[in-house]
């Protein structure tokens, strides 16, 4: 793991030279400073040896269900000779591998024309991804993040992400008697401190007005201006097909509800939830919950029609996890192994104590008339 001393000194000097900075700028450095940020430095982030678990860590069935849905998307596009899968924030490549393994095994016609593109900000992950995806090397390529969303890259198919949006830098705001104010990061007594000031950009107030949110006096919240910008980049690259976003979050009316007086900003370090973003710089994750309302509204402006939105449990149950469970039960695995699978899949779909209702799934489409996806099926029918 990266020693935070260097990043700490960089930020101290940066603030001393330029004055206070937005929390978004501070979070951007903590997560993405080249070679020093949490996501741009070597080290295991996910799983037992990392700082948090994701649905990918739980069982390969998560990726296999997504693969089932992408195969259905391919059919919705008319089973084209070529189909591109794009993953943003692929980590070690585990999700991509589970998806590709399923498609190679179950959808050979689709797999024959498949192109997998990974967009990743951490260069050292490419070797791990290449090793894990060695079986699919002829179908794999990498795209530099700076090319994503430009004229240099376009595709038809499906762009998917899992826990990407929650790690984009956010502005922090608070409602005061004088109106909406922004929380900045400054220096005090040689360390980091917070202070309130005027909004750094009118886009913050416009964001909240657009989703019809008015904070209560004393209420803090996060505003993720980077998320709509990322979606705009995705829309510029997507000629025809789907955008599938999986993350934890809520519609705006739930996310900015009065009971969330302190917002949703959290840090993760060695599977412990922390609330202080000013320690362990570059060595702990910093996240906030996703505002799915803004993604849907911005998507519509960009020509991305919302096809489906709901809890992860509903998506998985409709899109094929029951079939995965049934296949496991019919297999020759031992009863101990089958029980292990049942418990893992239960964690993915259970609404309490699991990931079933904490995570949401949003599917948007461009140039696809009345798509019929697996997740649109009625559960149990």
pLDDT of the residue at 85: 98
Give the whole-angstrom CA distance, residue 31 versus residue 40: 7
Compare 47 and 112 and report the one with higher pLDDT: 112
Q: What angle do CA 302, 307, 311 make, to 5 degrees?
A: 115
Q: Is the pLDDT of residue 286 over 90?
A: yes
What pTM, to 2 d.p., does this model score? 0.91
Torsion of CA 77, 83, 86, 87, to 10 degrees: 90
pLDDT of the residue at 3: 45
Q: Does residue 308 form part of some domain?
A: yes
Write out pLDDT tens, residues 54-86: 555 556 888 999 999 999 999 999 999 999 999
Write out pLDDT tens, residues 135-145: 999 999 999 99
Write out pLDDT tens, residues 263-281: 999 999 876 888 899 999 9
185 has which bridge partners?
21, 194
Q: Does residue 371 form part of some domain?
A: no
pLDDT of the residue at 332: 78
Q: What is the mean pLDDT of residues 75-100?
A: 96
Q: Does residue 378 form part of some domain?
A: no
CB proximity list for 258: less than 8 A, separation 6 or greater: 216, 219
Write out pLDDT tens, residues 181-218: 999 999 999 899 999 999 999 999 999 999 999 999 99
pLDDT of the residue at 326: 81
Give the whole-angstrom CA distance, residue 282 versus residue 276: 13
Cα separations in angstroms, 377 against 247, 305, 365:
21, 19, 17
Q: Does residue 374 form part of some domain?
A: no
Cα–Cα nearest to 359, from 111, 226, 166, 130: 166
pLDDT of the residue at 2: 40
Q: Does residue 173 form part of some domain?
A: yes
Q: Does residue 172 form part of some domain?
A: yes
pLDDT confidence bin for 50, thresholds 50/70/90: very low
Split into its structural domains, the chain has a count of 1
pLDDT of the residue at 51: 42
Cβ atoms of residues 286 and 27 within 8 Å: yes
Mean pLDDT of the chain: 90
Cα–Cα nearest to 255, from 165, 334, 326, 316: 165
pLDDT of the residue at 59: 66
Q: Which residue has the tokens 């699991």?
A: 354
Q: Is the pLDDT of residue 353 over 80?
A: no
pLDDT of the residue at 181: 98
Its domain, for residue 68, covers 3-366
Report the largest interatomic distance among the alpha carbons of the chain, rounded to a whole angstrom. 67
Q: Does residue 381 form part of some domain?
A: no
pLDDT of the residue at 1: 39
pLDDT confidence bin for 355, thresholds 50/70/90: low
Kindly report the three-state secondary structure assignment for every residue of the chain: CCCHHHHHHHHHHHHHHHCCEEHHHHHHHHHHCCCCCCCCCCCCCECCCCCECCHHHHCCHHHHHHHHHHHHHHHHCCCCCCEEEEEECCCCCHHHHHHHHHHHHHCHHHHHCEEEEEECCCCCHHHHHHHHCHHHHHHEEEECCCCCCCCCCCEEEEEEEECCHHHCCCEEEEEECCEEEEEEEEEECCEEEEEEECCCCHHHHHHHHHCCCCCCCCCEEEECCHHHHHHHHHHHHEEEEEEEEEEEEECHHHHCCCCCCECCCEEEECCEEECCCCCCCCCCEEECCEEHHHHHHHHHHCCCEEEEEEEHHHHHHHHCHHHHHHHHHHCCCCHHHHHHHHHHHHHHHCCCCCCCCCEEEEEEEECCCCCCCHHHCCCCC
Q: Which residue has the tokens 């909406």?
A: 180
CATH number at residue 271: 3.40.50.12710
308 has which bridge partners?
363
Q: Does residue 291 form part of some domain?
A: yes
């Amino acid at each position: 793991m990266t020693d935070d001393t260097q990043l700490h000194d960089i930020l101290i000097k940066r603030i001393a030279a330029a004055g206070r900075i937005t929390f978004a700028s501070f979070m951007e450095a903590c997560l993405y400073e080249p070679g020093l940020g949490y996501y741009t430095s070597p080290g295991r982030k996910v799983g037992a040896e990392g700082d948090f678990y994701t649905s990918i860590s739980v069982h390969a069935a998560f990726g296999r269900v997504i693969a089932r849905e992408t195969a259905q998307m391919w059919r919705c596009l008319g089973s084209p000779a070529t189909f591109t899968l794009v993953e943003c924030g692929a980590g070690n490549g585990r999700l991509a591998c589970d998806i590709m393994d399923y498609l190679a095994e179950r959808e050979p016609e689709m797999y024959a024309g498949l192109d997998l593109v990974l967009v990743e900000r951490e260069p050292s992950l490419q070797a791990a991804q290449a090793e894990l995806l060695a079986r699919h090397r002829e179908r794999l390529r990498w795209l530099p993040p700076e090319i994503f969303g430009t004229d240099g890259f376009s595709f038809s198919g499906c762009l998917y992400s899992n826990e990407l949006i929650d790690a984009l830098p956010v502005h922090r705001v608070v409602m005061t008697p004088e109106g909406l104010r922004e929380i900045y990061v400054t220096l005090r007594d040689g360390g980091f401190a917070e202070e309130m000031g005027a909004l750094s950009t009118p886009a913050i107030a416009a964001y909240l007005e657009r989703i019809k949110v008015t904070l209560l006096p004393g209420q803090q919240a996060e505003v993720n201006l980077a998320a709509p910008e990322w979606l705009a980049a995705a829309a510029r690259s997507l000629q025809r097909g789907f955008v599938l976003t999986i993350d934890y979050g809520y519609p705006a009316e739930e996310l900015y509800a009065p009971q969330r007086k302190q917002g949703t900003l959290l840090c993760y370090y060695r599977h412990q939830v922390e609330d202080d973003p000013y320690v362990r710089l570059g060595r702990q994750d910093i996240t906030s919950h996703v505002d799915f309302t803004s993604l849907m509204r911005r998507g519509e402006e960009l020509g991305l029609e919302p096809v489906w939105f709901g809890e992860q449990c509903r998506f998985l149950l409709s899109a094929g996890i029951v079939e995965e469970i049934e296949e496991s039960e019919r297999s020759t695995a031992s009863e101990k192994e089958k029980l292990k699978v049942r418990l893992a899949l239960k964690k993915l779909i259970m609404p309490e104590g699991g990931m079933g209702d904490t995570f949401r799934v949003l599917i948007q489409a461009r140039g696809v008339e009345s798509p019929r996806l697996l997740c649109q099926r009625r559960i149990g029918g």
